[in-house]
Amino acid sequence: MIEFTLEGVRENTIMTATTAPTTAIRPFRPEFSDEELAELRRRISTTRFPEKEPVDDNSQGVPLAASQALARYWADEYDFGRLEERLRAVPHFMTEIDGLDIHFIHVRSPHDDALPLVITHGWPGSIVEMLDVVDPLTNPTAHGGRAEDAFHVVIPSMPGYGFSAKPSETGWDVPRIARAWAELMNRLGYSRYVAQGGDWGALITEVLGAQAPDGLAAIHTNMAGALPPEISKALATNVLGAGDPAPTDLSDDERRVYDRLNFFYTKGVGYALEMGNRPQTLLGLADSPVALAAWMIDHDAWSLEDIRQAFVEKHPVGNLNRDEVLDNVTLYWLTNTGVSSARLYWENKLGFFDFKGVKVPTAVSVFPNEIYPARREWAEQAFPNLMYFHQVGEGNHFAAWQEPGIYTNELRAAFKSVRTS
């Protein structure tokens, strides 16, 4: 008889306080056991790989050489203690919101009048994406900024991600997460705050901006939902390659954006479609560390190439180096959240890049290697109260993670007018 162990609640890491009221905020300490780290390493070392792809580029997915280089570094050189150490450098908390335990990092700035800021990560990201911006944002004078640039920073883990609990029923979609963040900021005593995000974090931040709860002063997005409806429709109906052609009235610049998105929709978005429809079928993400890693680094063509370079040519682009990438994958593995994180796609009913009906003042930073670079004219339509729009020089989809310096400067500049108003 074979016994199967279910990876359930991580009792060793969650400090339960059964007598506390449900709005209590409990300290939380990330902790990984030697046994689970050894098991992870064992699994990486015994990976069974498929044969090499029959192409010389990334066009069939994560190349065998890249996944093997990743597995080799992960098993042989990666410091399995570093994730816990990095995480413990910041204060973590847990609080129950809307029936679910929500994990978050909360760092108050030494400058008391700092602007409270909630930052939301995306998929395949986590709080690891934001670890290197916490200090520059909270303690700007130590990082080339001024005291009046300071933020109090709150970085929650989305439901089903990282140390937050995994929903056991349906309904944790983007609007519900946004409402939970408003409650979180309220519970932390922030009566006036701003919000920021990319990827799912952008959707959550923008939907929060549409909900416009009391206290939300403004938002910043680095993946703006600013795709005009007629373009969005043409792209969405072309997923199987049979939709209408691009709208004919596009300018050359707009056409370039359209072509880039069309490539993503027809050649790159397969993982999102599968997660959107069959997340539970992706058992390989729970059972195989290399499968999880490959699935996660194949987010989009631009970031995959950056990460491939980091592992194969040992030439990271920006801060997105091997250790950063593996810290994030290791967190997913140790929390067994490959499938639970995928469910957010199943829950979602919103167009990734569609207008979300944002009402509050909005700031947009456009990183050049994002899935699509939002155009200012489009952003002006999407965000009636557009207070800041800036195209930066470097960076891909993982803006905060890859270019923490640029990202920090953007947030300082973007929210400047909110502080003085």
Q: What are the CA-CA distances from residue 60 to residues 55, 57, 63, 158, 311 (Å)?
A: 7, 8, 7, 30, 18
Q: What is the DSSP letter of 246?
A: P
How far is Cα of residue 223 from the mean position of the Cα atoms in its chain? 11
CB of 119 to other proteins, least distance (A): 26
Q: Which lies closer to other proteins via its Cβ, residue 50 or residue 189?
A: 50
Q: Tell me which residue has tokens 């090499």.
A: 52
> b/e map of 186-216 (b: 16 or more CB within 10 Å)?
eebebeebbbbbbbbbbbbbbbbbbbebeeb
- How many CA atoms lie within 13 Å of 8's alpha carbon, on the beta-carbon side? 5
Residue 11 sits in the site that holds other proteins (CB under 8 A): no
How far is Cα of residue 318 from the mean position of the Cα atoms in its chain? 17
- Ranges within 186-225 binding other proteins (CB under 8 A): none
CB of 37 to other proteins, least distance (A): 14
- Distance between CA atoms of residues 199 and 352, nearest Å: 8
Q: Which amino acid is at 149?
A: D
CB of 245 to other proteins, least distance (A): 11
* Binding-site string for other proteins from residue 58 to residue 77, where x marks contact by CB under 8 A and - marks none: --xxxxx--x----------
Q: Which lies closer to other proteins via its Cβ, residue 7 or residue 253?
A: 7
Of the candidates 23, 49, 79, 146, which one interacts with other proteins according to CB under 8 A?
49
Residue 314 sits in the site that holds other proteins (CB under 8 A): no
Q: Please list the alpha-helical segments (H only) found in 249-353.
A: 252-263, 270-277, 284-287, 289-297, 301-312, 322-335, 338-347
Segment interacting with other proteins (CB under 8 A) among 16-24, 49-57, 96-104, 182-190: 49-57
Residue 51 sits in the site that holds other proteins (CB under 8 A): yes
In degrees, rounded to 5, the angle at the alpha carbon of residue 94 between the alpha carbons of residues 190 and 272 is 95
Q: Which amino acid is at 100?
A: L
Q: Which lies closer to other proteins via its Cβ, residue 209 or residue 279?
A: 279
* Binding-site string for other proteins from residue 113 to residue 152, where x marks contact by CB under 8 A and - marks none: ----------------------------------------
Q: Which lies closer to other proteins via its Cβ, residue 61 or residue 357?
A: 61
Residue 240 sits in the site that holds other proteins (CB under 8 A): yes
Q: Which lies closer to other proteins via its Cβ, residue 51 or residue 112?
A: 51
- Ranges within 323-342 binding other proteins (CB under 8 A): 336, 338-340
Q: Which lies closer to other proteins via its Cβ, residue 85 or residue 230?
A: 230
The dihedral region occupied by 77, where left means phi > 0, alpha psi between -120 and 50, and beta the remainder, is alpha
* Binding-site string for other proteins from residue 166 to residue 185, where x marks contact by CB under 8 A and - marks none: xxxxx---------------
- Distance between CA atoms of residues 11 and 22, nearest Å: 18
199 a catalytic residue: yes
345 a catalytic residue: yes
Q: Which two tokens stand for residue 369?
A: 């290697």
Angle of helix 64-76 relative to helix 289-297, nearest 10 degrees?
120
Q: Which lies closer to other proteins via its Cβ, residue 323 or residue 346?
A: 346
Are 404 and 410 in contact by the 8 Å Cβ rule? The answer is: no
Q: Which lies closer to other proteins via its Cβ, residue 215 or residue 284?
A: 284
- Ranges within 23-42 binding other proteins (CB under 8 A): none
Residue 281 sits in the site that holds other proteins (CB under 8 A): yes
Options 345, 372, 388, 407, the catalytic residue: 345
CB of 386 to other proteins, least distance (A): 32
- Distance between CA atoms of residues 92 and 105, nearest Å: 5
- Select from 221, 398, 408 the least CA-distant residue to 319: 398
Residue 397 sits in the site that holds other proteins (CB under 8 A): no
Of the candidates 218, 219, 292, 325, which one interacts with other proteins according to CB under 8 A?
292
Q: Tell me which residue has tokens 């009906």.
A: 357
Residue 55 sits in the site that holds other proteins (CB under 8 A): yes
- Distance between CA atoms of residues 177 and 97, nearest Å: 10
Of the candidates 79, 287, 313, 377, which one interacts with other proteins according to CB under 8 A?
287
CB of 293 to other proteins, least distance (A): 8
Q: Please list the alpha-helical segments (H only) found in 244-283.
A: 252-263, 270-277
78 a catalytic residue: no
In degrees, rounded to 5, the angle at the alpha carbon of residue 404 between the alpha carbons of residues 400 and 410 is 80
Distance separating the N- and C-terminal Cα atoms of the chain = 68
Give the residue numbers annotated as catalytic, written as ranges: 199, 345, 397
Residues of the shown chain interacting with other proteins in the complex, contacts defined by CB under 8 A: 1-2, 4-8, 47-55, 60-64, 67, 166-170, 237-244, 266-271, 273-274, 276-288, 290-295, 298, 336, 338-340, 343, 346
